[in-house]
Structure 1
Amino acid sequence: QAMYTRMAAFPAVKTFEEYDFTFATGAPQKQLQSLRSLSFIERNENIVLLGPSGVGKTHLAIAMGYEAVRAGIKVRFTTAADLLLQLSTAQRQGRYKTTLQRGVMA
């Protein structure tokens, strides 16, 4: 588990227990808690977290990733900006498909 946590490259470890639902009043607590079960992974579904700056999207993404690591699932954390930069660079270098297969979507 420690190795998977390091490989995930989380900027910090965040958990669902630490998330302040009172601060992010628009966050649908029931839906967010259901994401904790990771059943979306079993169904091969994607999750998109939308909202204004500062409401905890990154915290929740890391918390879901950390739950997956605890379940023995390999995870890689990246921001949307970093992902777009990686893909743009890979496309310019002719490595787009390889990058998707190897690092981004693996």
Structure 2
Amino acid sequence: MDFLEHLLHEEKLARHQRKQAMYTRMAAFPAVKTFEEYDFTFATGAPQKQIQSLRSLIFIERNENIVLLGPSGVGKTHLAIAMGYEAVRAGIKVRFTTAADLLLQLSTAQR
């Protein structure tokens, strides 16, 4: 019975890994960025506690939106990708896009 349990466990793990890989590809992240890689000493605009609370993805459960605002180069894209990557790890489908691409898609769809 141990062999069968081990085999089923390995199959479940392999399926989970394939699902995460597929969700990561579908998300179209320009690069993999994580919360672990984020430099909190560089970006002083947002409190570390607030940024870490985003990692819990509670805003998704509450059906809330998040808007990241700030000057160029402070890590908005890094945080957006990190949140998306956390969601993928949690088995949630995501899609990364920039504001410029989103406006272009909306403009094209409106025509």
Q: TM-score scaled by structure 1?
A: 0.84
Cα deviation per residue 1:18-37 (whole Å; 9 max; x = unaligned)? 00000111221111100000
For residues 26 and 8 of structure 1, the distance between their equivalents in structure 2, rounded to whole angstroms, comes to: 27
Gaps of 5+ in 1: 91-106
Equivalent residue, structure 2, for 1:17: 36
Listed as ranges, the matches of 1:1-40 within 5 Å are: 1-40=20-59
1:89, distance to aligned residue in structure 2 (A):
0.5
Larger radius of gyration: 2
Moved over 2 A (4+): none
| Residue in structure 1 matched with residue 6 of structure 2 by the alignment | none
Cα displacement string for residues 52-96 of structure 1 (whole angstroms, at most 9, x for unaligned residues): 000000000000000000000000000000000000001xxxxxx
Are residue 88 (structure 1) and residue 91 (structure 2) matched?
no
Using the size of structure 2 for normalisation, the TM-score is: 0.80
Shift of 1:14: 0.3
| Mapped partners of 2:40, 2:27: distance in 1 | 25
Q: CA RMSD in A?
A: 0.4
Deviations 1:2-28 (A, max 9, x none): 000000000001000000000111221
Q: Calculate percent identity across the aligned residue pairs.
A: 98
Unaligned runs of 5+ in 2: 1-19
The whole-number CA distance in structure 1 between the counterparts of 2:69 and 2:49 is 16
